Structure 1
Amino acid sequence: MNELGAALRAWRDRVDPATVGLVGGTARRVAGLRRGELAMLAGISVEYVARLEQGRAATPSSQVCSCLARALRLSTEEEAHLMRLAGFAAAPARIPTLVPRSLWCVVDQLGHTPLAVYDAAWRLLHANPLFTAVFGDPADADDRNAMIVQFESRNHRVRQTDAERAYFEQSLVADLRATSARYPHDPDVAALVSRLTGNERFRRLWAQREVAAHESAHKTAVHPDMGAICLDANVLTTQDTDLRLVVLTPRAGTDAREKLDRLG
């Protein structure tokens, strides 16, 4: 089974038959769609579905990919991921790490807000002084990659509820899954995935093969002098360079703005 086949199988398993009009009948041995049901919904043969999932078929056409995406109820990001796995997008050799002048201009105008710039694999490229004041100096961290920090060491200044952690980690892993398909030849991305698969939480989420952009999260920073600072993290992905600008804004109804002003 190759990556395309594994993705198709995972997506097939998660589809509730009732949502696509398949109800009643005999007892089901699988939680999601049967191969025959996916074949019927996509307008292709059962044998072809089997060969695709087993990695024995030639690369499907873009039309077949579109039919599979509709049948599997894929999101826009997941359909794009399917197209990339089928070879319908040129893959850059390495993820971009150069921050363009246009982004520096935005960063310079947001000095009153904690912000950071990451590459597509969540390696920290830049943190402004207020971000450092809130979350600590990145130079003191065990690693500059946010995913390694989250799954292996944790930032002691970040407090998460169980629900916040579950959402945050699921969203990060889905985002990395998309990155791994956009940059399949980048050795650093492959090394990151290989390292993180040693973590049980990451391994479980990675096996789900969810694909989505990480766009937002709630964060509570615990500052040694200011105490809890409740923030909303908003992630803006830059065009072409695929960098992530993370802007942390004060959560409404809290005293976070006052504390940020004092730190600034």
Structure 2
Amino acid sequence: MRQLRESTDAQALGLAVGRRRVRGLRREELGELAGMSADYVRRLEQGRSHPSAGVVNAIARALRVGRGEYERLCALAGYAAADGQVPTEIGPGAMRLLERFSDTPMFVSDAAMNLVAVNNAFLALGHWDLTGDPWEWNVAWRTFCDPFDGFKQSSADATDHEAVLVARLKAAVLRYPTDTSLAALVDEMRTRSGLFDILWRTPRPVAAYESSAAFVHPDGDAVTLVGNLLAIPGDDLAALMLTAAPRSTDAARLAELVDAAGEPSIIRVGQPGPG
């Protein structure tokens, strides 16, 4: 809370700046904006008082924090975020990534590992077949319960990949405990996949947020790519970028597939309708 107060731009909140002896907001200013005394703000920052959920919301509004910081405040105070639902709205930051790396296969997923948007370079790999299952656009579901024929990993890469997926789902359940769709997904995966159930009960440590895989195109050729997971904290989304070794045969093959996919485009996925 103190970190957020000191990093908040007072001028952006319409407060007089002048000559300040402290960074960000004074305790008195935060107290006035949030409807509480400066002494209570001090006790909260020192851990000598426990805020109600209403106080947490008032502080978040006063500081105009983003969703990620709001959820962090709620977690520190022992509360679930107000709506308790996994956000699926793709923000401008994620859109810029998809637009500016149009020749790099990429998708954006929410905290529950549901794909939200992809670029056509990703679809050009040709491995993501649709099964009609309710969770056909969920990375974890497709990995543990409905694997792709055109996605091949070594045992070491598969181990890293599985550890990341379980860790992300566990973190999502902690942040969004009232999201019924997320709870149903986890329950069904624990029922359908013995491996997932074991990892859920005894998670592996996450060694790296990247792994390699061979993507087998429907034409029979394969391209080996490395996937790197990038967090987009403000929207609680993540982007996965798939790249080939520079000047390699895989890089040349990837360029052919992307070129054949036509003009760059971004496709919303995972929801009814055309997107």
Q: TM-score range by the shorter chain?
A: 0.5 to 0.7
**8 Å contact kept, 2:115–2:138:** yes
2:105 and 2:203 mapped to 1: Cα distance?
32
Structure 1 residues 161 and 219, CA gap change in structure 2 (3 angstroms): same
Q: 5 Å matches for 1:24-63?
A: none
What does residue 175 of structure 1 align with?
168
Q: Secondary structure in 1 aligned to 2:125?
A: helix
1:165 counterpart = 2:158: yes
2:228 and 2:176 mapped to 1: Cα distance?
24
Residue segments in structure 1 that go unaligned for 5+ positions in a row: 1-61, 64-79
1:229 counterpart = 2:242: no
Q: Secondary structure in 1 aligned to 2:235?
A: coil
Once the 2 structures are TM-superposed, how far is the Cα of residue 93 of structure 1 from its aligned partner?
1.3
1:167 and 1:148 mapped to 2: Cα distance?
16
Structure 1 residues 243 and 113, CA gap change in structure 2 (3 angstroms): same
Structure 1 residues 181 and 85, CA gap change in structure 2 (3 angstroms): farther
- The match for 2:255 among 243, 246, 261 is 261
1:106 counterpart = 2:100: no
What does residue 120 of structure 1 align with?
111
**8 Å contact kept, 1:159–1:219:** yes
1:139 and 1:253 mapped to 2: Cα distance?
32
Residue segments in structure 2 that go unaligned for 5+ positions in a row: 1-46, 49-70, 259-275
**8 Å contact kept, 2:128–2:148:** no
2:206 and 2:172 mapped to 1: Cα distance?
10
**8 Å contact kept, 1:178–1:212:** no
Deviates more, 1:231-240 or 1:250-259: 250-259
Q: Secondary structure in 2 aligned to 1:154?
A: coil
- The match for 1:132 among 123, 134, 150 is 123
Amino acid at match of 1:248: L
What does residue 187 of structure 1 align with?
180
Amino acid at match of 2:211: A
Answer 1 or 2: higher relative contact order, Cα 8 Å, separation at least 6. Answer: 2
Q: Secondary structure in 2 aligned to 1:240?
A: helix
**8 Å contact kept, 1:250–1:256:** yes
Structure 1 residues 206 and 137, CA gap change in structure 2 (3 angstroms): closer
Once the 2 structures are TM-superposed, how far is the Cα of residue 206 of structure 1 from its aligned partner?
0.4
**8 Å contact kept, 2:80–2:176:** no
Q: Which runs of 4+ in 1 moved over 3 A?
A: 83-86, 88-92, 135-142, 209-214, 251-254
Cα shift readout 1:57-82 (whole Å, capped 9, x = no counterpart): xxxxx89xxxxxxxxxxxxxxxx99x
Cα shift readout 1:18-38 (whole Å, capped 9, x = no counterpart): xxxxxxxxxxxxxxxxxxxxx
1:127 and 1:119 mapped to 2: Cα distance?
12
2:131 and 2:101 mapped to 1: Cα distance?
24
**TM-score, normalised relative to structure 1:** 0.62
Structure 1 residues 193 and 91, CA gap change in structure 2 (3 angstroms): farther
Amino acid at match of 1:223: H
What does residue 271 of structure 2 align with?
none
Structure 1 residues 130 and 231, CA gap change in structure 2 (3 angstroms): same
2:236 and 2:129 mapped to 1: Cα distance?
21
Once the 2 structures are TM-superposed, how far is the Cα of residue 230 of structure 1 from its aligned partner?
1.1
Q: Secondary structure in 2 aligned to 1:156?
A: coil
What does residue 243 of structure 1 align with?
237
Once the 2 structures are TM-superposed, how far is the Cα of residue 92 of structure 1 from its aligned partner?
4.5
1:212 and 1:178 mapped to 2: Cα distance?
13
Amino acid at match of 2:118: A
**TM-score, normalised relative to structure 2:** 0.60
**How many residues are matched?**
186
Q: Kindly, what percent of the aligned residue pairs are identical?
A: 30
